[in-house]
């Protein structure tokens, strides 16, 4: 059974992948390597994990406005997440998602805490929806 969650669409398009959930904000400038897609920020809960092709779920971004360009670079390098979901998207993440054509939804019903690592998700940034799909083993 598909669970559909409504939110606010920020950056259009659709993306599908396994959820990679962070309880902590993410700084893309110096926190994520745009060449590898790996989280490199020391001490971050996702340190060492690769965001490429995942649905990246995190409360919000933090840090410099250059973070927008890191999201764009991730996209150009084919290392971007398939989509992103925020509790509250702020301008750095929103602009980066739009520039990088990474679907982004925020303010989902019930909050991001209802999503778990490994959930199979489809994000529609045009409709502002997140679907939790049945696990088919992919």
| 87-135 residue pLDDT tens | 999 999 999 999 999 999 999 999 999 999 999 999 999 999 999 999 8
Say if 138 falls within a structural domain: no
Helix (H) or strand (E) holding 121: strand 120-124
- pTM comes to 0.95
Say if 21 falls within a structural domain: yes
Annotation says 27 is catalytic: no
pLDDT per position as a tens digit, 28-74: 999 999 999 999 999 999 999 999 999 999 999 998 889 999 999 99
Q: Based on the structure, what is the number of domains in the chain?
A: 1
Task: Identify the active-site residue in 22, 64, 68, 75.
Answer: 64
- Short-list 87, 84, 91, 47, CA closest to 68: 91
* C-beta atoms surrounding 124 within 10 Å: 20
CATH number, domain containing residue 87: 3.50.30.10
């Amino acid at each position: 059974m598909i669970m559909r969650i409504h939110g606010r669409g920020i950056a259009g398009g659709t993306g599908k992948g396994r959820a990679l959930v962070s309880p902590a904000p993410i700084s893309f400038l110096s926190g994520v390597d745009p060449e590898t897609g790996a989280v490199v920020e020391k001490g971050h809960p996702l340190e060492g994990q690769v965001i490429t092709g995942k649905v990246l779920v995190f409360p919000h971004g933090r840090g410099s406005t250059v973070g927008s360009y890191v999201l764009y670079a991730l996209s150009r390098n084919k290392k971007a997440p398939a989509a992103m979901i925020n509790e509250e998207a702020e301008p750095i993440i929103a602009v980066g998602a739009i520039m990088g054509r990474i679907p982004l939804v925020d303010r989902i019903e019930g909050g991001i805490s209802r999503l778990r690592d490994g959930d199979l998700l489809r994000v529609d940034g045009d409709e502002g929806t997140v679907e939790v799909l049945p696990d088919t083993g992919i």
